[in-house]
């Protein structure tokens, strides 16, 4: 029976706790809802109704013995201020001061007192403001003291843990081997001597294998030369024996030592690198996507960059004792070559290597030795960036004659497009005229334009004429024959075929003659 009574009492207590928790949650929700209603009434300017609701709000706080919050204090004070009710405000601030005095939590007490000091000064209550300020100072001191006490406890715990670790270390130190200073110095000297002897032996062995490798490479070169000569003699003999097939005399077998055996790429990569082994390694990484041209000196590299206009330049930062950063900078400063992406090879790490690349204006940099996966990914990123620029230029071209026209950041492209637009009605206007204005040869102009846009000048001029013709047809600026002459087409038939091929629709579908007019 006693056990059953204890269980019943425990169940009653649990139910009472749950009910009290639910009641507290309901009270908090009611207070929050009332406060939200007060805020809405204040924002709408209905201060009379807001004061009525404020009195109800205060009754609820008194009934449930809940202290007023700083937010509610400021809000109700503003309501009394709007209604000029000094008496209610004074009584309310006094009640809030009592709530602050009774609050055992120094942090919430400090927040309420700070709000009280501010509101008492607004209502010109200096005595009460001074009292609240003193209470606020005491509460803040209590908060500081509590924080210091917590910090002291944490520091004491850390000190205790450090002392415990120190005791453990002292207890386990006897388990380790202890060597005096002289013995340790002798062991270090012996280790250094042995390490030096191993390095000398390794150096001698490396020289031996290097000489053997050079000898083997020379033998392979001789064998390859002899094999090539035998294949040439055999092909000549076969050509002489087969009089009906003279083409066989010119055919040669593929070089088995060639790095890449696929079709010859269109893009050109210029390697400005004096080290032959590095050149061979870079060729193995780039020969599947580029034709490789090499230069071993700064002057040769700049000359080849100006003459060839390659699609990529890989430059060493040190060239025959001189810096290669200046070469990359000159490539980027020249109007002829500033579009060419430059990859800088440096012997520096981290921010130093990055600083070299920034000084040179290079798009990427690598610390030697180059890692093939990272180098290949970077080159692919540069190629993808060029394709992205081509797509952006295509979007620019489609919007050039519309109201949504965008601006080009590249002066070379902006000037080219402007000159084509100005001479669009002239069918005899060619890329030679644009190249002369740009002070470039036609070959250099064509290569740079194609690198930046993916289009040759004749294709760009044709697409711009067709884009403008479409806009004119949609605006009904004239007949298709007249618009063909306006955009530089000498023949209406040629214009119709080009329009159909480019847009996939006939010019007659876009042009509708005015009503009452015969077509």
Please say whether the beta carbons of 139 and 106 come within 8 A.
yes
pLDDT at 258: 45
Please say if the pLDDT value at position 468 is more than 90: no
| 226 — pLDDT class (breaks 50, 70, 90) | low
Most confident of 220-224, 320-324, 352-356, 448-452: 448-452
Please say if the pLDDT value at position 270 is more than 70: yes
Instruction: State the residue range of the domain holding 470.
Output: 399-510
All residues at 6 or more sequence positions from 483 whose CB lies less than 8 Å from its CB, including other chains:
469, 472, 473, 477, 495, 507
Return mean pLDDT, the chain: 79
3-state class (DSSP) for residue 346? strand
Please say whether the beta carbons of 272 and 316 come within 8 A.
yes
pLDDT at 194: 93
| 184 — pLDDT class (breaks 50, 70, 90) | confident
Measured distance CA(53)–CA(79) in Å, rounded:
10
Rg (C-alpha) for the chain, rounded Å, is: 44
Among the ranges given (103-107, 188-192, 286-290, 319-323), the one the predictor scored with the smallest mean pLDDT: 319-323
Please say whether the beta carbons of 124 and 161 come within 8 A.
no
Average pLDDT over residues 365-380: 82
Q: Which two tokens stand for residue 119?
A: 């509101």
Measured distance CA(441)–CA(52) in Å, rounded:
88
Kindly state whether residues 126 and 201 are assigned to the same domain. Answer: no
The reply to whether 450 falls in a domain is: yes
Kindly state whether residues 332 and 377 are assigned to the same domain. Answer: yes
Kindly state whether residues 422 and 375 are assigned to the same domain. Answer: no
| 437 — pLDDT class (breaks 50, 70, 90) | confident
pTM for the whole structure: 0.47
Average pLDDT over residues 402-429: 85
> What is the torsional sign of CA 429, 432, 435, 436?
negative
Kindly state whether residues 137 and 51 are assigned to the same domain. Answer: yes
pLDDT at 252: 43
3-state class (DSSP) for residue 253? coil
Kindly state whether residues 48 and 124 are assigned to the same domain. Answer: yes
pLDDT at 88: 84
pLDDT at 257: 38
Kindly state whether residues 116 and 209 are assigned to the same domain. Answer: no
Please say if the pLDDT value at position 168 is more than 70: yes
pLDDT at 195: 92
Q: Which two tokens stand for residue 445?
A: 């102009």
Average pLDDT over residues 236-261: 47
Phi-psi region of 492 (alpha: psi -120 to 50; beta: other; left: phi over 0): alpha
DSSP 441-488: -HHHHHHHHHHHHS--HHHHHHHHHHHHHHHHHHTT-S-HHHHHHHTT
Please say if the pLDDT value at position 15 is more than 60: no
Ranges of H-type helices in 123-180: 126-172
Give the closest residue to 463 by CA, choosing from 437, 489, 432, 428: 489
Q: What is the CATH number of the domain that holds 410?
A: 1.10.10.60
Tell me what percent of the chain is helix, strand and coil, each rounded to the nearest 5.
Answer: 70, 5, 25
Q: What percent of the chain has pLDDT over 90?
A: 4
Give the closest residue to 314 by CA, choosing from 278, 347, 288, 261: 278
Kindly state whether residues 317 and 350 are assigned to the same domain. Answer: yes
How many folded domains does the chain comprise?
Answer: 4
Please say whether the beta carbons of 493 and 483 come within 8 A.
no
Q: Say how many C-beta atoms besides its own lie within 10 A of residue 196's C-beta.
A: 10
Measured distance CA(253)–CA(233) in Å, rounded:
12
The reply to whether 138 falls in a domain is: yes
The reply to whether 9 falls in a domain is: no
Residue where a domain terminates, one of 120, 147, 174:
147
Please say if the pLDDT value at position 450 is more than 50: yes
pLDDT at 218: 56
Please say whether the beta carbons of 42 and 79 come within 8 A.
yes
Most confident of 20-29, 245-254, 311-320, 391-400: 391-400
Please say if the pLDDT value at position 34 is more than 60: yes
Higher pLDDT, 294 or 356: 294
The reply to whether 69 falls in a domain is: yes
Measured distance CA(431)–CA(435) in Å, rounded:
6
Please say if the pLDDT value at position 231 is more than 60: yes
Q: What is the DSSP letter of 347?
A: S
Measured distance CA(481)–CA(15) in Å, rounded:
94
Please say whether the beta carbons of 508 and 480 come within 8 A.
yes
The reply to whether 494 falls in a domain is: yes
pLDDT at 238: 62
Please say if the pLDDT value at position 263 is more than 80: no
The reply to whether 421 falls in a domain is: yes
């Amino acid at each position: 029976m006693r056990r059953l009574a204890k269980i019943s009492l425990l169940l009653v207590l649990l139910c009472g706790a749950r009910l009290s928790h639910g009641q507290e949650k309901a009270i908090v929700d009611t207070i929050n809802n009332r406060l939200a209603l007060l805020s809405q009434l204040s924002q709408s300017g209905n201060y009379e109704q807001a004061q009525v609701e404020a009195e109800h709000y205060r009754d609820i706080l008194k009934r449930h013995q809940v202290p007023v919050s700083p937010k509610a204090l400021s809000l109700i004070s503003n309501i009394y201020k709007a209604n000029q009710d000094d008496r209610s405000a004074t009584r309310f601030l006094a009640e809030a001061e009592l709530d602050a005095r009774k609050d055992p939590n120094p942090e919430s007490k400090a927040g309420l007192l700070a709000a009280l000091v501010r509101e008492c000064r607004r209502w010109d209550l200096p005595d009460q403001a001074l009292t609240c300020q003193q209470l606020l100072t005491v509460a803040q001191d209590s908060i500081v003291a509590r924080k210091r006490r917590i910090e002291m406890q944490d520091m004491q715990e850390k000190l205790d843990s450090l002392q415990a670790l120190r005791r453990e270390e002292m207890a386990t130190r006897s388990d380790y081997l202890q060597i005096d200073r002289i013995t340790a110095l002798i062991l270090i000297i012996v280790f250094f001597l042995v390490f030096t002897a191993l390095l000398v032996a390794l150096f001698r062995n490396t020289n031996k294998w290097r000489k053997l490798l050079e000898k083997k490479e020379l033998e392979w070169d001789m064998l390859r030369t002899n094999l090539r000569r035998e294949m040439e003699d055999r092909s000549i003999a076969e050509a002489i024996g087969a009089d009906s097939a003279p083409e066989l005399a010119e055919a040669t077998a593929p070089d088995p030592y060639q790095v890449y055996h696929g079709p010859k790429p269109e893009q050109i990569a210029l390697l400005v690198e004096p080290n032959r082994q590095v050149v061979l390694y870079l060729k193995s990484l780039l020969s599947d996507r580029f034709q490789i041209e090499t230069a071993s000196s700064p002057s040769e590299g700049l000359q080849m960059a100006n003459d060839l206009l390659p699609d990529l330049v890989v430059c060493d930062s040190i060239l025959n004792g001189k810096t290669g950063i200046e070469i990359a900078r000159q490539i980027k400063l020249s109007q002829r070559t500033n579009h060419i992406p430059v990859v800088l090879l440096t012997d520096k790490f981290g921010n130093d290597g990055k600083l070299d690349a920034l000084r040179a204006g290079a798009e990427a940099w690598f610390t030697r030795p180059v890692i093939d996966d990272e180098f290949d990914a970077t080159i692919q990123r540069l190629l993808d960036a060029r394709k992205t620029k081509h797509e952006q230029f295509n979007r620019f071209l489609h919007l050039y004659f519309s109201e949504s026209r965008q601006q080009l950041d590249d002066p070379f492209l902006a000037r080219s497009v402007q000159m084509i637009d100005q001479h669009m009605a002239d069918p005899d206007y060619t890329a030679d005229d644009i190249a002369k204005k740009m002070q470039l040869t036609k070959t250099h102009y064509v290569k740079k334009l194609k690198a930046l846009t993916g289009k040759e000048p004749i294709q760009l001029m044709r697409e711009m004429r067709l884009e403008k013709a479409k806009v004119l047809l949609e605006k009904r600026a004239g007949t298709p024959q007249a618009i063909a002459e306006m955009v530089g087409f000498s023949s209406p038939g040629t214009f119709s075929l080009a329009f159909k091929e480019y847009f996939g629709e006939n010019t007659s579908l876009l042009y509708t003659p005015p009503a009452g007019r015969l077509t």
